[in-house]
Amino acid sequence: MAQMNRKNELLIRAYLVMAVFVAVALVVVLRLFNVSVVEGDEWRELGGKYVKWQPVKADRGNIYAEDGSLLAASEMIFDIRMDPTVSTDYSFERGIDSLCILITKHLNANKTPSEWKKRLVDARQGWKKHKKKGSKSIPIAKNLTFEQIDKARKFPLFRKGRNSGGIIIDKTSRRGKPYKEMASRTIGVDRQNASKIGLEGAFDTFLKGKEEKRLERLVDRGVWIPVFDPSEFETQRGADLYTTIDVEVQDIVHNELLSMVLHQEAEAACAVVMDVETGGIKAISNLSKLKSGGYAEIYNHAVGTSSEPGSTAKLFTALALLEGSNIDLKDRVEVSGGRKKFYDLWMEDSHRHGRNMLNFLEVIEESSNVGIASFALKHFKGLEGKKKYVSYLEQFGLTDKTHIEIAGEPMPLVKHPVKDKAKWSGTTLPWMAHGYESSMTPLQILKFYNGIANNGRLMKPYLVKEISHEAEILREIKPKVEVSAMASKSNIETLQYMLESVVESGTGKGLKSDIVKIAGKTGTARVNYTKKEERKKYNASFAGYFPVDAPKYSMIVMFYDPKKGYYGGSVAGPVFKNIAEKIYQVKGDLLDPVREQYAELQNKKMPNKHSGYASDYAKLINHIDLDVEVNSKSRWVDIAPERNKLTIDKKKIKGDQVPNVIGMGLRDAVYILENVGLDVKIEGVGKVKKQSIKPGAKVSGQQIEIYLN
């Protein structure tokens, strides 16, 4: 019976509990109904007002010089705002004093701690009393680095995060050019509301990365903050560009051009240096006169300004003559003192030579307009002759664009006797022969001279050699041969000889250098010859290559309307010479064709022990002619010197162990360490000298410091 009573008591109590739960369930369902149906419209409307998707630009990729120096990079900058209303009274009061002291000390000293405190407390209390009197968004500091943000996150209140500490971090990026003005027009500008120019524009699709959307919520009138911590929000970073630009060469070119353009007070000037073998552009400078008087990179003349080339074009005609006739360097022509009438127009030589007869070589050496025009008329007779002449120009790659990567290159203007019949007159051929009635950009002219230097192999000029995203190469741009033989080998050699003679004994005598042997051609082009009443304006240029024995670089220097002289030889020539000499001094080892010297050097001193990315070493080792024993085809290798040879072994990297990065370059070391999941902190520059965690230790996401020297 007691058993029965107990059971009943237990059951009654259980039913009571059940009843309570049924009641609670009913309340919940009613509440649910209320929210979903009764108040439904209000909530749904509020939902739309509260949040919005905001596009977020990805971090833009970097632009690098050939050696990995940064030409353009985006640095992350952060702004901090504070919402002083979200924290509890308790934690706000406990943290506000030390927070304000830290803000003044580390973030923004424009206000004293007590001023900060007043500002934040006023905003907080104002908001609590009446929303309009306070604010949920107080700017704290702008343009902070990641390190500063990292520190700020540990401040009292801020360390409680956005929802209970009130810290709001906005991330933006700023595009910086570490080399400032150097090549800046070619590197380009990433503009928001105008078309992007230079490489920034040409490779925008790669550089810009993937745009993402993030949710932002409204906290105050017009104040939107991201729902999730923006520093944790990942967008896919843009790819990096590796250009052919050589920072050392660029530096020389820029400074030499600048000093001459200042002296000459020219309207503008440009200079381009090209790697003979590949067509890669090593340096490109464009200086234009500003209204304020100084000079700056504001227009890419080398790529975009097409003008009558003047005397540098005589070499086009010379090569055409060599290819298309049996002309000999000793063939003579009547120049009648440098003044002769062609049809109804007088032609004059710009250099006074006072001779009546010149041979073919002398015509080039003395840059005789009359001479080259007469030869052209003599050898390209009739319509067939003219067609032949133009077809040679086409064969030399002079009738097409260079198709350099950046935008704004005009088509060269080369008349055709049939297609442009209306524009073709009796004077066209003689004038075209010495660089008029046609129009080209400096780069288009340089392409031809580079071809001559490269023994007739015409290379496509290019600026970008690799596009890569993190460690992955997206596109590798190899040097491109446009025409494998512009002309016969012997004719190219003759032309090279002519160019050497110009510097040896012709109009380019001023370029004779004790340091480096230069070959090239002066160019002096009258610009405004149709306007007789104006002051005579000229473009002065020099195009050529060096060193003559084994050409490594070709270059063009162009001055637009120089004021203190107008000859190519005296205005552009000195700049060419100075640049060539300085490059030669800096890059002497590369230019010197005598490889034996290296071997000797290497025998005396073997390279130290290295580790790194195998393909990087492959390039290096190919370059230094050493006995190399390759024991591994692994991607990461250890390199060890052994008496007279190097050995390459597979680098030991285990997934869960801290790898040894001593001896590695920064890029390789960071890549490897981050790949195994370590947080890398870097100190110093150069090669890794020391690492804070011993190799072989277990990886568990800790921070490793590497010290470089």
Partner 1 sequence: MSTAIQLYRNLKGDKAIWLIFFVLSLFSVLIVYSASGSEAYKWHGGNTEYFLIKQLILLILGMFTTYVCYQLNYIHYSNIAPVLMIIIVPLLLYTGIFGDEINDSRRWLTIPFINNTFQPSDIAKVALILYVARSLAIRQEYIKDFKGAFLPIIMPVVLVCGLIAPSDFSTAALLFVTCLLMMFIGRVSLKYVALLVFMGLVLLSILVMLGTWEVTADYFRLDTWISRLQGNDVWQVNQSKIAIANGEWIGEGPGNSFQRNILPFAYADFIYAIICEEYGLIGGVFIIAMFLWLLFRCINIVTRCPKAFGAILAMGLCLNIVIQAFANVAVSVDLVPVTGLTLPLISSGGTSLIFTCMSIGIILSVSKYVEQAELEQIELSKIESDAANH
What residues line the site for partner 1 (CB under 8 A)? 6, 9-11, 13-15, 17-18, 21-22, 24-25, 27-29, 31-33, 35-37, 39-44, 46-47, 50-51, 86-91, 160, 163-164, 215, 217, 227-228, 232-234
Taking the complex as a whole, how short is the minimal distance between the CB of residue 73 and partner 1, in angstroms? 25
Q: Which is nearer to partner 1, 47 or 222 (CB)?
A: 47
Taking the complex as a whole, how short is the minimal distance between the CB of residue 199 and partner 1, in angstroms? 30
The residue with tokens 């050497």 is 500
ω into 412 cis (within 30 of 0): no
**For 162, left (φ over 0), alpha (ψ -120 to 50), or beta?**
alpha
Three state DSSP letters for 527-546: CCCCCCCCCCCEEEEEEEEE
Q: Distance (Å, rounded) from C-alpha 543 to C-alpha 449?
A: 7
Eight-state DSSP code of residue 698:
B
Burial tier of 654 (Cβ tally within 10 Å: 0-12, 13-18, 19+): exposed
Q: Which is nearer to partner 1, 69 or 91 (CB)?
A: 91
**What number of other Cβ atoms are within 10 A of residue 28's Cβ?**
10
Contact 243, 64 (CB under 8 A): yes
Q: Which is nearer to partner 1, 73 or 86 (CB)?
A: 86
Q: Which is nearer to partner 1, 51 or 407 (CB)?
A: 51
Q: Which is nearer to partner 1, 166 or 435 (CB)?
A: 166
What single-letter amino acid sits at 630? V
Taking the complex as a whole, how short is the minimal distance between the CB of residue 664 and partner 1, in angstroms? 28
Taking the complex as a whole, how short is the minimal distance between the CB of residue 130 and partner 1, in angstroms? 18
Longest Cα separation, the chain: 147
Q: Which is nearer to partner 1, 1 or 17 (CB)?
A: 17
Distance of CA 387 to the CA centre of its chain: 41
Taking the complex as a whole, how short is the minimal distance between the CB of residue 26 and partner 1, in angstroms? 9
CA dihedral 121, 127, 130, 132 (to 10 degrees): 110
Q: Which is nearer to partner 1, 161 or 176 (CB)?
A: 161
In 3D, which of 363, 276, 278, 281 has the Cα closest to residue 327?
A: 363
Distance of CA 683 to the CA centre of its chain: 26
Taking the complex as a whole, how short is the minimal distance between the CB of residue 90 and partner 1, in angstroms? 5
Taking the complex as a whole, how short is the minimal distance between the CB of residue 515 and partner 1, in angstroms? 56
**For 166, left (φ over 0), alpha (ψ -120 to 50), or beta?**
left
Contact 422, 527 (CB under 8 A): no
Taking the complex as a whole, how short is the minimal distance between the CB of residue 698 and partner 1, in angstroms? 12
Distances (CA, A) of 564 to 267, 283, 537, 572, 575: 12, 26, 11, 12, 14
Q: Which is nearer to partner 1, 180 or 213 (CB)?
A: 213
Taking the complex as a whole, how short is the minimal distance between the CB of residue 47 and partner 1, in angstroms? 4
**For 64, left (φ over 0), alpha (ψ -120 to 50), or beta?**
beta
Distances (CA, A) of 431 to 17, 314, 336: 109, 10, 17
Taking the complex as a whole, how short is the minimal distance between the CB of residue 612 and partner 1, in angstroms? 28
Taking the complex as a whole, how short is the minimal distance between the CB of residue 13 and partner 1, in angstroms? 5
**Does an H or E element contain 63, and which?**
strand 63-64
Q: Distance (Å, rounded) from C-alpha 641 to C-alpha 609?
A: 6
Please provide residue 48's backbone torsions phi and psi, each rounded to the nearest 5 degrees.
-70, -35
Q: Which is nearer to partner 1, 26 or 550 (CB)?
A: 26
Contact 63, 250 (CB under 8 A): no
Taking the complex as a whole, how short is the minimal distance between the CB of residue 217 and partner 1, in angstroms? 7
Taking the complex as a whole, how short is the minimal distance between the CB of residue 159 and partner 1, in angstroms? 10
Q: Distance (Å, rounded) from C-alpha 182 to C-alpha 257?
A: 11
Q: Which is nearer to partner 1, 8 or 585 (CB)?
A: 8
Q: Which is nearer to partner 1, 41 or 514 (CB)?
A: 41
Q: Which is nearer to partner 1, 233 or 342 (CB)?
A: 233
Q: Which is nearer to partner 1, 16 or 422 (CB)?
A: 16
Q: Distance (Å, rounded) from C-alpha 404 to C-alpha 460?
A: 8
Find all residues with CB under 8 Å of 490, minimum gap 6, and list them. Answer: none
**Does an H or E element contain 285, and which?**
strand 281-289
Kindly provide the b/e burial profile for residues 183-215, where b requires at least 16 CB atoms within 10 angstroms of the residue's own CB: bbbbbbbbeeeeebbbbbbbbeebbbbeeeeee
Q: Which is nearer to partner 1, 210 or 635 (CB)?
A: 210
Taking the complex as a whole, how short is the minimal distance between the CB of residue 154 and partner 1, in angstroms? 14
Q: Which is nearer to partner 1, 46 or 550 (CB)?
A: 46
Taking the complex as a whole, how short is the minimal distance between the CB of residue 76 and partner 1, in angstroms? 19
What single-letter amino acid sits at 315? L
